[in-house]
Homo-oligomer: A and B are copies of this chain.
Amino acid sequence: MSKSQSFTTNLTMSHTTTVLTPDGSMEQVEQIAIESPYSIALNDEPIGSSMVLPIGLEEFGAGFLFGQGYIKEPGEVKEVYICPDGRIAVYADVEITEPKEVIITSGCGGTGKISKEMLEGAFDPLQECTITFPEISSFIRQSLQSSPLGPQTHCIHGCGFWQNGKLQVFYEDVGRHNAVDKVLGAILLGKITPRGAIYTTGRLTSDMVLKCARIGIPIIMSRTAPSSLGLAIARRSGATLAAYARPDRLNIFNAPERIVI
């Protein structure tokens, strides 16, 4: 059992494919993203398993437990161990209580379910901040540059966090949820605070926006689109929601006042 990820794991594998075109067929080697099952335990109690890209696993463990409602805020997580048998063991200062009524989400990613209470409950005030348009340009440009696996495998989502004028963390995963969970885990492990902007390559469905707003992130951005419920949750929590974000363009769906031109 090792606290740090001292063992390295491959994130991609090569596979020879047969490419068909109207002109005939040829062999081509493709890179495939590794999807590995990991189980997550909280205070030695098994909580669930998830398919993940095996990197940023400490953050993932903490973020996963936040997404499922077991961990509420930074400071609760005491230790995370990544065990070579595929277990992420999180120790936290919390009582384990089962969420009551759960909804399986439309989301692509590890969390998979959220409690009805979390979906319908009130939000604490967000951690206020603003971001300038040039900062957003740098944020998105640097995020895309930080994701070599994306263009290699076409099977990866990325998620970054911008704070104090720079890209603080960037994570990748096979699930858009897992990538966000890794950023939330970085908040829970005290590497960053929620006072900043999050950018995901994935769609902003209800569960994606919900967990970002629950942890207090005021600015939520996506390379692609929100769903109706994703927007509804942004409006209810007051979070800024920006979609179709590119270095030179973005559409603000809610609370444009936090983005300074």
Contacts and interface: CB of A to CB of B under 8 A. Distances in A.
A interface residue count range (under 10 / 10 to 19 / 20 to 34 / 35 or more): 35 or more
B21 A249 contact: yes
A110 interface: yes
29 contacts: A18-B256, A19-B249, A20-B250, A28-B251, A30-B225, A30-B251, A30-B253, A32-B225, A32-B226, A32-B227, A33-B225, A35-B206, A50-B104, A52-B106, A104-B110, A104-B111, A104-B112, A105-B112, A106-B108, A106-B109, A106-B173, A106-B174, A108-B175, A108-B202, A153-B225, A154-B225, A154-B244, A155-B227, A174-B205
A248 interface: yes
Shortest beta-carbon contacts, A-B, top 10: A108-B108, A112-B112, A51-B106, A35-B227, A106-B175, A154-B225, A155-B225, A49-B103, A17-B251, A35-B229
A33 B175 CA distance: 20
A229 to B, nearest CB: 4
Interface in A203-234: 203, 205-207, 224-231
Interface string A102-126: 1111111111110010010000000
A176 interface: yes
A51 B133 contact: no
> This chain: how many copies in the complex?
2
A256 to B, nearest CB: 5
Interface string A25-36: 100101011111
Given A17-B253, A49-B103, 4 more contacts: A15-B253, A17-B252, A35-B227, A50-B105
B112 A51 contact: no
A24 interface: yes
A237 B108 CA distance: 24
A261 interface: yes
Interface in A5-51: 13, 15, 17-22, 24-25, 28, 30, 32-37, 48-51
